[in-house]
Structure 1
Amino acid sequence: MARVMVSEFLKIRRKMILFLILLGPMGVIGLEAVNFGVRYDWLTGVYKDDLWRGLIGEVSMLSILTILIGLTILTSMIATIEHQTNAWKQLLALPISKTQVFTGKALLTVLLLFVSCLLLAIGTIVLGLLLKFGTDIPFLYLIEMCFFPYLASLPFIAVQTWLAITMKNQAVPLMIGIVGAIVSMYSMNFPDWVPWKWPLLLNDWDMPVYSVLAGLAIGILLYFIGLLDFNRRDVK
């Protein structure tokens, strides 16, 4: 798997994928910088009891849509490398298993999104300091809001990886992922068992960790289902 992951990283080094990893958090932080810059007095009045938590909450709500659309584009771009060159047969002719190939694609998306969320957390801190919110940063809340939606989105990473790998026409996976991201933003009143609600970290118990645990469990299950299907397919 180490060799597979090295190979996957080499494939993307000259692609727009790495730029996308930077663009997501930069876009979110940039929009929030404009938001607070234009409405500074009003927003600081609304969040006067805890400016940092207010800023982090604003960033988090915008980042959820970015994560869901970002993972859709990432999985598609990663799979497209083989689709465009018709290289699946050559790849699978190498002394690596289909399990390693599928896992490598999924793991690459997971790692890249983790880096993007880490950059988002760092960018939030920088923005808060520039806005002169002080140095009393609620790090636990920051980690929760930047990384919990990402962990709760693991089922979508599993599904989009499977769709992107098994379909040469990437319009279908992209459409499904983008529609899912839009649905998620309006899922506040959905039942707690609906996966599109999990990235919002909302549930009847008011415990964000439950959404994360659900995302982890179903994400792992969907990964294995997708893996079994990929192993049984005749890749062209």
Structure 2
Amino acid sequence: MMFRVLAADFLKIRRKAIWFLIFLGPFGVIALQGANYMLRYDYLMKKYAADPWGAFLGNVQYLLPVTLLLGIAIIASMVANIEHQMNSWKQLLALPITRASVFSAKFTLCMLMLFVSCLLLGIGIIGLGLGLKLGTDVPLADIVKLSFYPFIASFPILALQLWLSSTMRNQAFPLTVGILGGVVSIYAPKMPDWFLWKLPWLTNEAGKPEYSVAAGLAAGMVIFAIGLIHFTRRDVN
């Protein structure tokens, strides 16, 4: 049942600006890093001559968490706001489908679009790295981790933003929460490990990025479950 709702949601966003944002996020990160290297190419290549790919990926990683968190807030809001703008929540929930299927489909839709964005980011990283002549020994495993680990670790934020956006007609509050979360995340590496907006940075006391990914999955499931229960029991205008 959820897949039928998901197919309908894809049709609803077919000609929406949301697809532009999916491409804009990774393009912006790659473009900024490309400009950084073009302006200081000789200096950076000399400074990081021992590991040019590692330094390049490290620079990219500084841009990812904030970009990802802001993107999550905007995408979740746009997906939920389609129903708000069309005043179609009541009609949608009156159909012979469960509310759980509706909420799960919205969450899955957001996940798939963000997955595409992360995939484009990985491709862009490889392309830019080769274009900058960082070497032909491309660290594919590190690029995959850099592209997808922050995304998985940010599941709690995605679940929270979709929950707020789906249950509030006025998107000002969900977007404010998302924007503030993105801004605060700049200082998140100094926060305790339980701080949700720190997870996409993949930093923790153990020094293992996989711990942040696992914590993101676990916390994401919990927040998704809470949001799902609330959505199924609440009247949505």
TM value normalised by structure 2: 0.98
For 1:32, the equivalent position in structure 2 comes to 33
For 1:136, the equivalent position in structure 2 comes to 137
1:45 CA displacement: 2.3
For 1:73, the equivalent position in structure 2 comes to 74
1:160 equivalenced with 2:161 (yes/no)? yes
Distance 2:190 2:93 in 1: 44
Counterpart residue type for residue 210 of structure 2: V
Q: Deviations over 1:174-193 (max 9, x none)?
A: 00001011111111211112
After the TM superposition, list the runs of 4 or more consecutive aligned residues in structure 1 that deviate by more than 2 angstroms: none
Distance 1:60 1:112 in 2: 20
Distance 2:50 2:207 in 1: 21
Gaps of 5+ in 2: none
Distance 1:115 1:220 in 2: 21
What SS does structure 2 have at the residue aligned with 1:132? Answer: coil
For 1:213, the equivalent position in structure 2 comes to 214
For 1:225, the equivalent position in structure 2 comes to 226
What SS does structure 2 have at the residue aligned with 1:188? Answer: helix
Greater mean deviation of Cα atoms: 135-144 or 217-226: 135-144
Distance 2:79 2:165 in 1: 8
1:124 CA displacement: 0.4
C-alpha contact 2:22 2:117 (8 A) present in aligned 1: yes
CA RMSD of aligned residues (A): 0.8
For 1:105, the equivalent position in structure 2 comes to 106
Distance 1:26 1:196 in 2: 23
1:46 CA displacement: 2.6
C-alpha contact 2:154 2:199 (8 A) present in aligned 1: yes
Q: Deviations over 1:65-96 (max 9, x none)?
A: 11100000000000110101110011111121
Distance 1:84 1:166 in 2: 13
Greater mean deviation of Cα atoms: 117-126 or 42-51: 42-51
Greater mean deviation of Cα atoms: 73-82 or 53-62: 53-62
C-alpha contact 1:57 1:145 (8 A) present in aligned 2: no
C-alpha contact 1:198 1:212 (8 A) present in aligned 2: yes
Greater mean deviation of Cα atoms: 38-47 or 141-150: 38-47
What SS does structure 2 have at the residue aligned with 1:96? Answer: coil
For 2:10, the equivalent position in structure 1 comes to 9
Greater mean deviation of Cα atoms: 182-191 or 210-219: 182-191
Distance 1:46 1:88 in 2: 56
Gaps of 5+ in 1: none
